[in-house]
Amino acid sequence: MSDLTELGRWRGVASTAWLIVLLLWETAAPCFALFLGSRERWRHGLRNVVVGALNALLVVVGFVWAWKAVAAWATEHRFGLLNWLGLTGWPAAVLGVLLFDCWTYWWHRSAHELPRLWNFHRVHHSDARMDVTTANRFHLVEIGLSSLLRLAVIPLIGLQFGHVVLYETLLQGCVQLQHANVALPPAWEWTLRWLIVTPGLHKVHHSREPADTDSNYASLLSVWDRLFGSFRLRARPEEIRFGLDGMDTDGRQTVRGMIRTPFEK
Ligand SMILES: [Zn+2]
């Protein structure tokens, strides 16, 4: 899997290039008219990107080396499900991505169903003008907790570090697309949502209506929502209103406001 580890070096370049493509797409053909002026759009995007940069720093400094260490330990000791099944090569990579994505589904669902986790996850949902930059907007504590739990999940599945890099690359690309203020051509949207979480599916998850928010928890593969009964489509997606009631003030939308929100009554 050293070829996949190599992929990690290009991940930053790939996600920045994909961000630029999606920003241009949002400019040329936005799905919703979210912004009154370009200055407002810049300010909104910059705040989300700064929060994302803080998260990236935390993950790179605090966790990537540790994920690599536990993955190497699992490989060396033949520990974890993939090793117990004797899988190697691409069969191991495919099953590894599937299982890791199933974990991500349940982590995200827990962030909605457990009030203490929702307190942090609501910062992500408080964006009333969701666009591609919202993909970066998560509270540091949420990112820290999920990164910490991965230290147990990686060896339990028996993932190699290359599998983690492959999953992170696929996940990041899909998460950027699903938050972008774009609409796929209907035939593409219909076809792709059998496999991955599309912009149409994820817009429902960011709706202000609680019944919508409590659906479509999957991050990469849409199968988990179909399997665990949380798949939801809206008849009129154009009527969706993003954000959370009570979280619209500018004070909740600044970088400082986002970081402080979970600690305020
Ligand atoms: Zn959510």
For residue 149, the CA-to-ligand 1 centroid distance in Å is 18
For residue 217, the CA-to-ligand 1 centroid distance in Å is 6
Residues 6+ apart with CB under 8 A from 19: 132, 176
Question: b vs e for 46-78, b when ≥16 Cβ sit within 10 Å of the residue's Cβ?
Answer: ebbbbbbebbeeebeeebbeebbebbeebbeee
Q: Map tokens 């928890």 to a residue.
A: 217
* Tokens at 126, concatenated: 């408080």
232: left (phi over 0), alpha (psi -120 to 50) or beta: beta
For residue 42, which of 56, 60, 26 has the smallest C-alpha distance?
26
Q: Which residues pair with 207 in a beta bridge?
A: 242
Q: Can you tell me whether residue 189 is helix, strand or coil? A: helix
Cβ proximity of 59 and 147 under 8 Å: yes
**Eight-class DSSP state of 85:** T
For residue 185, the CA-to-ligand 1 centroid distance in Å is 25
- Cα 39 to Cα 36, 176, 194, distances in angstroms: 9, 22, 37
Q: Which amino acid is at 78?
A: R
Q: Map tokens 């909104």 to a residue.
A: 44
For residue 74, the CA-to-ligand 1 centroid distance in Å is 31
Q: Map tokens 């290039």 to a residue.
A: 17
pLDDT single digits (tens) 95-122: 999 999 999 999 999 999 999 999 999 9
- How far apart CA 164 and CA 127 sit, in angstroms, is 28
For residue 125, the CA-to-ligand 1 centroid distance in Å is 6
For residue 143, the CA-to-ligand 1 centroid distance in Å is 13
Q: Sign of the CA dihedral 176, 251, 254, 64?
A: negative
**200 Cα distance to chain centroid:** 15
pLDDT single digits (tens) 179-224: 999 999 999 999 999 999 999 999 999 999 999 999 999 999 999 9
* Tokens at 54, concatenated: 């803080």
* Tokens at 13, concatenated: 């370049």
Tens place of pLDDT per residue across the chain (265 aa): 555 666 666 777 888 899 999 999 999 999 999 887 889 999 999 999 999 999 999 999 999 999 999 999 999 999 999 999 999 999 999 999 999 999 999 999 999 999 999 999 999 999 999 999 999 999 999 999 999 999 999 999 999 999 999 999 999 999 999 999 999 999 999 999 999 999 999 999 999 999 999 999 999 999 999 999 999 998 787 889 999 999 889 889 999 999 999 998 7
For residue 61, the CA-to-ligand 1 centroid distance in Å is 25
For residue 3, the CA-to-ligand 1 centroid distance in Å is 32
